[in-house]
Amino acid sequence: MSNSPQRLMGRSALVVGGARGIGGAIARRLATEGARVVVADTEVEAGTAFAASLGGPDRARFVETDISQKADAERAVAEAVTHFGGIDIVVQNAGIYPWTLIENIEPDEWDAVMGVNLRGTYLVARAALPAMKAKGYGRMIFTSSITGPRVTSPGHGHYSASKAGINGFIKAAALEFAGYGITVNGIEPGNILTEGMKAGRSAAFIKGMEDSIPLGRLGTPDDIANAALFLASDESSYITGTTIVVDGGQTLPESKDFRLTPS
């Protein structure tokens, strides 16, 4: 990938779930590369402040968005079209991940996870499609996960199903949208050291996770943002219908005894 700056100059982007964490890192990376960015999130105070940190209203804007709702998805896209003259890049990063064993998941909780993670993916793609079709250009990027498509753990039945569903949607959308000059891809993060993980997990837990990763560290939000930048740029113009796994090699070992001591 080229190290030249401003590779997204003249582009407009919508980052859903962009107020903090991985989404915030993606929004900041796209803005740094010249894109005008709409930050969409349910967190109004954090989202408003974060968008302001990216520049004035001619560079970045915030719109309160529950991406599981059709009207909200359409309003978020309209924010970019109205104020930035169109929409070139969509990143759907919003996701929820309650921990509940399958036997205890109530239908309402199942529906809530699917609503944000999977329905939200479909709704924002559908909302952005007309503007991208009119332009003959688009980059759609969806945050999936290694959890579901490749691995899982107890308590994440609904989350795993939603993320596996995102990967299936990526393939279908990529095929349907290819003729309009629109690429559709995803990112499968491994364990990423976000603010939430630092606050909610013990040092011992984090160390145990690090020990399971061949590269010896958890990922950072910037690791995911770098992958998103590549998929948002023209450097990925011949890539569609696939995902990039960003997990430090976590999904590679056959067993926990995988480390070699260099001699």
In the chain, domain spans? 12-246
In this prediction, residue 262 has a pLDDT band, given cuts at 50, 70 and 90, of low
Catalytic hit among 137, 159, 180, 238? 159
Q: Which of 162, 190, 170, 172 is nearest to 231 (CA)?
A: 170
Residue with structure tokens 């989404």? 23
pLDDT at 2: 46
Cα–Cα dist 48/227, whole Å: 25
Architecture of domain 12-246: 3-Layer(aba) Sandwich (3.40)
* Measured torsion, CA atoms of residues 60, 63, 66, 71, in degrees rounded to the nearest 10: -120
What is the model's pTM? 0.94
Q: What is the mean pLDDT of residues 40-69?
A: 97
Question: For all residues of the chain together, what is the average pLDDT?
Answer: 95
User: Does residue 159 carry a catalytic annotation?
Assistant: yes
pLDDT at 263: 58
**pLDDT tens digits, one per residue of 92-126:** 999 999 999 999 999 999 999 999 999 999 999 99
The answer to whether residue 3 scores a pLDDT higher than 60 is: no
The answer to whether residue 150 scores a pLDDT higher than 50 is: yes
Give residues with Cβ within 8 angstroms of 60, minimum separation 6: 27, 31, 36, 37, 38, 39, 51, 52, 54
The answer to whether residue 177 scores a pLDDT higher than 80 is: yes
Residue with structure tokens 């962009």? 18
In this prediction, residue 213 has a pLDDT band, given cuts at 50, 70 and 90, of very high
